[in-house]
C-alpha cells in the first residue's frame, strides 16, 4: 500500500543532513556539557555554536536563546514566570491558541486568580486588532499571548502590529511561533516581542528540542530547577545531539527558504485546484485557501459528508495510507471537535468532517493526485 504523508503541521520528516549531524554528535561528542574536561568542553562548544546560529537567523543575541524540550515547555516557562515573577495580572489571548497556551492560562487563573481575557475574532478566525487595543488600554500589568501562525487553519497574525500595540500600552508580548520559525523570516530587531516559543520538529529537526526567545533583562525565572544550565533558566543536562540537530535543521530551512517556500506554495495551490475540481462542494475553512492571510504550509477543508459518516473519515484515509489530521495532533485522542473550528464554523458545518492537510518539501504532485482521488471516492461512498 502506498503511504502519503500530509501531516507536517504535526511533525516533519527529518532531513538526512540533520540525522548525519546528530549521529556524529552521539558517537563523538558524548560528553556532559557541564563537565570542565575537554570532552565536556567539546559538547559545550557545540551548544554555544548552535545558540549563535539560531540568534543569527532571528537577528538577536545568543544570550536571548534558551534551549528547551520544545514549544510546550517554552510556552509554559514564559506564561508561568510572567505571572509568578513579572507581576502580570492579566493575560490577553484568543480562543484558538494551541492548548499549550490555553491550558496554561486556565491553570494560572485557578492558581493565582490571573485575569484571562479573550480578544474578538472575525468570521475567519483573525484577531480583531481594534478590540485588542481596547483591552490593552483598559487593563494594566498585561501580557498578550497570540500565536503567529495558527496550527489548524493557518491564519497569519500581524505580529509586528501586535508588538507595536503592546509596546504603546506597556504590555509584554509572547508569541507561539512553532508553525512559523523555519518557514517565515523572523527579524527580532524589527518586532516588539518579548518572548517566543519554537519547536525543532516543525522544520525538519528532531523531536524533544526547541527554544524560548527571552528578551534581555525580562526578569523571567526558571520553571525547572536543579542546575545552572541555559543561563540558569532551564536546569538539566543538555541534549547536545538534539540541539545540534535543531541548529542544522534551522540553518537548512533558512538557507533554502526561498526555493522551498515556492515549491510548497505550488503544492498547496495544486491541492486546492485539484480538490475543488474533484469535490466542488468542499469548503476551505477560514482563509486557508488564501495565500496572503494564511500560511503556505497547510489547508483545512470541510467535506460534504453526512454526519453519521464523518467519524470514520480519518480512519478511512489512514486505511488508504494517507496521513492527515482532523486538527492538532495534540488532541487526536480527544472525542471533542476542534476548539479552533468551533469558533468559525456553524453548528451544521461542525457536523461534517474537516481535515487538515499540511505540506513539506518532501511531498509531490503525485501525492496530491492520490490523496484527492481517494478523498473523492470516500466522499462518494
Buried b (16+ CB within 10 A) or exposed e, 264-291: beebbebbbebbbebbeebbbbbbbbee
Let me know: does 279 contact 304? Beta carbons within 8 Å. Answer: yes
Catalytic entry in 124, 290, 324, 330: 330
Q: Which residue spans within 38-149 are E strands per DSSP?
A: 65-68, 90-93, 115-118, 142-145
Dihedral class, residue 172 (left if φ above 0, else alpha if ψ from -120 to 50, else beta): beta
Buried b (16+ CB within 10 A) or exposed e, 24-44: ebeeebebebeeeeeebebbb
The cell for 13 is 520528516
The distance of Cα 283 from the centroid of its chain, to the nearest Å, equals 24
The DSSP secondary-structure symbol of 17 reads: H
- Spell out the residues 6+ positions from residue 277 whose beta carbon is closer than 8 angstroms to its own: none
Cα(122)–Cα(124) distance, integer angstroms: 5
Cα(214)–Cα(64) distance, integer angstroms: 5
Cα(68)–Cα(74) distance, integer angstroms: 6
DSSP string, 316-356: HHHHTTEE-BSS-GGGTT-SS--TTGGGTS-HHHHTS-EEE
For 116, counting Cβ atoms within 10 Å of its Cβ (0-12 exposed, 13-18 middle, 19+ buried), the class is middle
Dihedral class, residue 191 (left if φ above 0, else alpha if ψ from -120 to 50, else beta): beta
CA torsion sign, 329 to 193 to 159 to 191? negative
Is 330 among the residues known to form the active site?
yes
Q: Which residues are catalytic?
A: 330
Amino acid at each position: 500500500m502506498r503511504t502519503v504523508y500530509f501531516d507536517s503541521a504535526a511533525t516533519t520528516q527529518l532531513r538526512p543532513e540533520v540525522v548525519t549531524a546528530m549521529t556524529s554528535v552521539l558517537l563523538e561528542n558524548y560528553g556532559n556539557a557541564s563537565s570542565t574536561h575537554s570532552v565536556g568542553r567539546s559538547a559545550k562548544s557545540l551548544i554555544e555554536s548552535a545558540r549563535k546560529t539560531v540568534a543569527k537567523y532571528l537577528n538577536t543575541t545568543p544570550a536571548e536563546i534558551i534551549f528547551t524540550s520544545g514549544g510546550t515547555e517554552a510556552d509554559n516557562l514564559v506564561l508561568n514566570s510572567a505571572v509568578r515573577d513579572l507581576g502580570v495580572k492579566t493575560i490577553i489571548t484568543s480562543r484558538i491558541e494551541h492548548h499549550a497556551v490555553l491550558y496554561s492560562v486556565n491553570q494560572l487563573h485557578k492558581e493565582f486568580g490571573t485575569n484571562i481575557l479573550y480578544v474578538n475574532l472575525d468570521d475567519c478566525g483573525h484577531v480583531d486588532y481594534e478590540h485588542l487595543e481596547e483591552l490593552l488600554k483598559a487593563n494594566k500589568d498585561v501580557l498578550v499571548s497570540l500565536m503567529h501562525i495558527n496550527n489548524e487553519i493557518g491564519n497569519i497574525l500581524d505580529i509586528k502590529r501586535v508588538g507595536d500595540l503592546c509596546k504603546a500600552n506597556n504590555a509584554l508580548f509572547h508569541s507561539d511561533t512553532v508553525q512559523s520559525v523555519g518557514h517565515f523570516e523572523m527579524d527580532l530587531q524589527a518586532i516588539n516581542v518579548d518572548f517566543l516559543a519554537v519547536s525543532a520538529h516543525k522544520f525538519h529537526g528532531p523531536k524533544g528540542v526547541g527554544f524560548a526567545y527571552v528578551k534581555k533583562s525580562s526578569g523571567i525565572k526558571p520553571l525547572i530547577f536543579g542546575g545552572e544550565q541555559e543561563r540558569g533558566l532551564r536546569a538539566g543536562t543538555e541534549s547536545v545531539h538534539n540541539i545540534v540537530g535543531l541548529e542544522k535543521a534551522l540553518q537548512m530551512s533558512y538557507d533554502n527558504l526561498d526555493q522551498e517556500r515556492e515549491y510548497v506554495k505550488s503544492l498547496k495551490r495544486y491541492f486546492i485546484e485539484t480538490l475543488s475540481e474533484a469535490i466542488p462542494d468542499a469548503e476551505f475553512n477560514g482563509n486557508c485557501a488564501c495565500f496572503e492571510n494564511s500560511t503556505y504550509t497547510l489547508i483545512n477543508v470541510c467535506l460534504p459528508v453526512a454526519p453519521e459518516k464523518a467519524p470514520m473519515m480519518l480512519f478511512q484515509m489512514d486505511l488508504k495510507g494517507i496521513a492527515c489530521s482532523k486538527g492538532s495532533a495534540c488532541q487526536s485522542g480527544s472525542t471533542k471537535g476542534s476548539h479552533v473550528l468551533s469558533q468559525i464554523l456553524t453548528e451544521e458545518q461542525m457536523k461534517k468532517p474537516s481535515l487538515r492537510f499540511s505540506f513539506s518539501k518532501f511531498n509531490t504532485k503525485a501525492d496530491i493526485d492520490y490523496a484527492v482521488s481517494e478523498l473523492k471516492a470516500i466522499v462518494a461512498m
